[in-house]
């Protein structure tokens, strides 16, 4: 995942850690981590939905980091010259 141009060291570190976690979870999900276990009450669809929801929540946190950066420091040009 591409880390945006963040000023705040905490947001940069959080973004890096969560991005790695998101990537790992997506790879695990694509590799079949939502399989069923005999005797478990959860279905494969429920496990898949839970994992996808967790990934979505982590992405929401990353978006909030970017929003906070924008509020605190204003818009900054990216490496390509865009905001």
Model pLDDT for residues 33-69, shown as the tens digit of each residue:
777 677 777 788 888 899 999 999 999 999 999 899 8
Residue 28 has pLDDT above 60, yes or no: yes
Q: How far apart are CA 48 and CA 68, in angstroms?
A: 30
What is the enclosing helix (H) or strand (E) of 21? helix 9-30
Each domain of the chain, given as residue ranges in start order, spans: 9-73
pTM (2 d.p.): 0.76
Structure tokens at 53: 């929801």
pLDDT given at position 42: 78
Region for 65 from its dihedrals, namely left if φ exceeds 0, alpha if ψ lies in -120 to 50, beta otherwise:
alpha
């Amino acid at each position: 995942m591409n880390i945006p141009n963040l000023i705040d060291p905490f947001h940069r570190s959080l973004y890096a850690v969560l991005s790695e976690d998101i990537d790992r979870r997506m790879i695990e999900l694509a590799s079949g981590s939502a399989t069923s276990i005999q005797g478990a009450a959860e279905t494969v669809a429920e496990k898949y939905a839970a994992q996808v929801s967790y990934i979505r929540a982590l992405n929401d946190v990353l978006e909030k980091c970017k929003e906070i950066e924008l509020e605190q420091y204003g818009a900054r040009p990216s490496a390509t010259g865009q905001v």
